[in-house]
Structure formats: structure tokens, C-alpha cells
Structure 1
Amino acid sequence: MKSLFHRISLNLFSSIVCCCLFFSTASATGSDIIKNDILDAIEKKYSGKSFEANFTQISRLAALDIIEKASGRASFSHPGKMKWEYMEPAHHEIITNGKVLWIFRPDENQVMQGDASQFFKSGAGGAFLSDISLIRKNYTISLKEITVDYVEMDLVAKTKKSDISSIVIRVSQKNSEIERVVTYNPYDDTILFEFSGIQFKKIDPGVFEFKVPYGVNIIEMD
């Protein structure tokens, strides 16, 4: 009888372990399916397309507990073209044609210019929005939160970057639009972008070029 009890106990234990392994594997597989479905949806929505959106930006410098807010309108075009036009708190523009980056501050009568790839290679500034294929290519992706309204995914760079440790994107369940992007650096500083009024449309390529106005000081960025 004692031996029979041990055999039943072992069989029951084995069954429980198998069930746990099955449900654990099934859960992981389910998460992968959801993740891939979301990635497929945003790639279909954004790949090779141009769009414009209003944005608000909240930047937090953790060490000094400083928070700054800004807002404006942004334009994106595949591949690698962006224009961020800040209207508040002060007017300035960040423009790139995918090769050259310009930062124009009319109040200071200056434009900074440099190699765009050096400044956006880690995904800073929402750079992947101008080439959505970079998400799968450059990041390890995991699900962070799922609600009826949105899905949040955590993106960790496959190649370690000194300025960006991770990026969290929020994707609408309704229309697969990226509503929020939050970047984190190794010092716990964050930059949050929220997008609204997204419009997919053709954009004149000239929007992503910048002609330095006469008399404006030019500063070369390394």
C-alpha cells in the first residue's frame, strides 16, 4: 500500500510538472503570437509611408529632477527623413533628409549641422518612426502591458548603446498607430513623446531639406 501511494504521488507530481511546462510554453507562445501580430500590424501601417502628427514632449533629467515640456508638429518619411517643428516653449526645428541633420534656432540666429546617422543610430528622437523596419532589426522586443485600448512593448537595443538603454512604445489596439514613445538612458533620464492627429499622406521631399538663411551662424557638430 505504501509503495502504491508513492507510485501515485510520483505520477501525480509528474503530471503537475508536465501541466506546468505545457501552460508555461503555451503562455510564452501566446505572447509571441500577440507580439508578432502587433509588429505585423504597425509595419503594415507605417512601412514605406509618410505621415504627420502633432506631438507633446516631456523630458525629465533624473539627477536634477528637472522636467521640461514642449510641443509642436512632426513629419516623417521613409527612409530616415524627419522634421520636428517645435512651437512651444520656443520655436526651433530639427530636420534631417536621412544624411544631414540640421537644428535651427532662429531666436539664436544659428543652425547646427552634422551627420544624421551619428545622432539617430540608437533610436533617439523617435528615429525608427521614419523606418519602421528598424524595430525588428535593431531591438529585442518584449510585451510590457496589454489593455483593451493599447499594447506597450519594450525595445532593448541588440547592440549596446551608451545614450539609449531602452525604448517603450504604445500601440493603439484600435488602429495600430504608435501613440506614445518613451526613451530611457542609463542615467534614468526619460523623454516621452505623445502623438495625436496622425495623418498618413504624401509629403513634399523639400520639407526634409534645409537651406541656411543668409547671415545665420553655422555650427558644425562632431
Structure 2
Amino acid sequence: MKFAHKTLLTAAIAIFPLLAEAGAIDQLHQFLQNTRTLKAEFAQTVIGKNGRKPQLSSGLVAISRPGKLRWEIVKPYPQLVVGDGDKIWIYDPELQQVTVRKAGQAISGSPAALLSGNNDLEKNFTLKEAGEAEGMLWLEATPKVGDSGFDKVRLGFAGSDLKAMELQDSFGQTTLIRFSKVERNPALAAGTFKFTPPAGVDVVGE
């Protein structure tokens, strides 16, 4: 089963990692001050509200603050989201289609703004400590606007490492993400955050 474009974009802009220990909110602010780039592997499970079989996928993520991202699903169906700071490109090779959105519109009220925007988080989000569960410390972020596409995001940490993210979106779906091989402040090639639609694909939204 393939991801709908809106689901893919919502998940993609929700995967930016944080760091937390005792006092997750303080660690989030510290992370924003000290982290410029990040890359990791991820495993993702999307659970629908109607009890359908969960959708499983895995891939790679990279970010460069402010505003640049790459969210690449490798298995089972290749899909790619690239944000260059100006536009968000969503590429589905099987459908031969690229959807384009302005980065400001796509990210402004989204979980991506937790990391890719400025550090004035409380302007757009209500942040709170969410306790400990499953051996992780959790932070919860709730958007202050009603059209962000999601209800809340929970992030789970073990020590200083991001291990999990849970996104509850406005469509009744829950997206569970587990991160591994996280690298902070790696050197990333400039082409990581560039995208040119392949010849012959349909481009929607530009």
C-alpha cells in the first residue's frame, strides 16, 4: 500500500530530530542553538484509524538548518521529499509525479518548524514535558493553529539520542518513527537539498 502525497509530506516534515535529557524543552532549545546539520536512518509505521494493516517503510533523512530537508523512503516503494529552503518537492517515481509547495506554506505550522525555523518555538507551538515511557523521555508539541495538518507530535529520547517520534495527524492516522545511526553536524553535500524534476514527469503545484 502506497502513501498518499499528503501523508508523505506530513510525515516528512515531522521527522526532524531533537535532543532531550532531564528537561526536554530546555534540551530542545539547546539543540537548536548547537545543531546545524543532521542525518539518520529511519523505520516508519503508519497506522490508520480504521484498523487497516499498518504501512511499513524505511529510509534516510537529512536536515540543514534553517529550512532544508531530505526525507527519502527507500523501501518498499521509493519516494522522496526535498526542501531547499524555498520549495518542498515531493517525488513519486512510480506515479511519475512531482508535487511542489512553497516551503513557508508547507512548514510554517508544522513539526518541521520545531527545528528548521527560528528558535521562537512558543510562538507557534505549545510545548510540554511528556514524562517517561518505554525507556525514553518524551516531549510533546501541539500547534497553536488549527490547519497545520496534525494534532500533536511526541518525541522520545534515550540519553542524548533521539530514538522515536509519534505523529497524530488530522486524518486520524498515527505515524511511528524510529531513528538509528543518528549523526549530528555532519558535512552534507550541497546536492543533498537540491531537486530537479526528471524529464517526462508531471509537475503539480508549481
Q: Comparing both chains, which one has the higher relative contact order based on Cα–Cα distances under 8 Å and sequence gaps of 6 or more?
A: 2
Deviations 1:133-179 (A, max 9, x none): 3644422122222269421122211233352111111122x22x322
3-state SS of paired residue (1:63): coil
**Aligned partners of 2:61 and 2:70 also within 8 Å:** yes
Q: Which amino acid aligns with 1:208?
A: F
Relative distance call for 1:194 and 1:215 in structure 2 (3 A) is same
The CA distance in 1 between the partners of 2:90 and 2:170, in whole Å, is 25
The CA distance in 2 between the partners of 1:51 and 1:170, in whole Å, is 17
Does residue 100 in structure 1 map to residue 87 in structure 2?
yes
Matches within 5 A, 1:170-185: 170-172=156-158, 174-175=159-160, 177-185=161-169
Normalised TM-score (structure 2) = 0.77
Question: Which residue in 1 is equivalent to 2:153?
Answer: 167
2:130 to 137, 140, 144: 144
Per mean C-alpha deviation after superposition, the further-off stretch among 97-106 and 37-46 is 37-46
Question: Which residue in 2 is equivalent to 1:196?
Answer: 180
Root-mean-square deviation (CA), in Å?
Answer: 2.7
Q: Which runs of 5+ in 1 are unaligned?
A: 1-33
Q: Which amino acid aligns with 1:168?
A: R
Number of matched residues? Answer: 185
The CA distance in 2 between the partners of 1:104 and 1:207, in whole Å, is 14
2:72 to 85, 90, 93: 85
**Aligned partners of 1:113 and 1:218 also within 8 Å:** yes
3-state SS of paired residue (1:43): helix
**Greater share of residues in strand:** 2
**Aligned partners of 2:24 and 2:138 also within 8 Å:** no
**Greater share of residues in helix:** 1
Question: Which residue in 2 is equivalent to 1:154?
Answer: 140
* Aligned-pair CA distance for 1:216: 2.4
Per mean C-alpha deviation after superposition, the further-off stretch among 95-104 and 155-164 is 155-164
Normalised TM-score (structure 1) = 0.72
The CA distance in 1 between the partners of 2:50 and 2:42, in whole Å, is 25
Question: Which residue in 1 is equivalent to 2:44?
Answer: 57
Identity %: 21
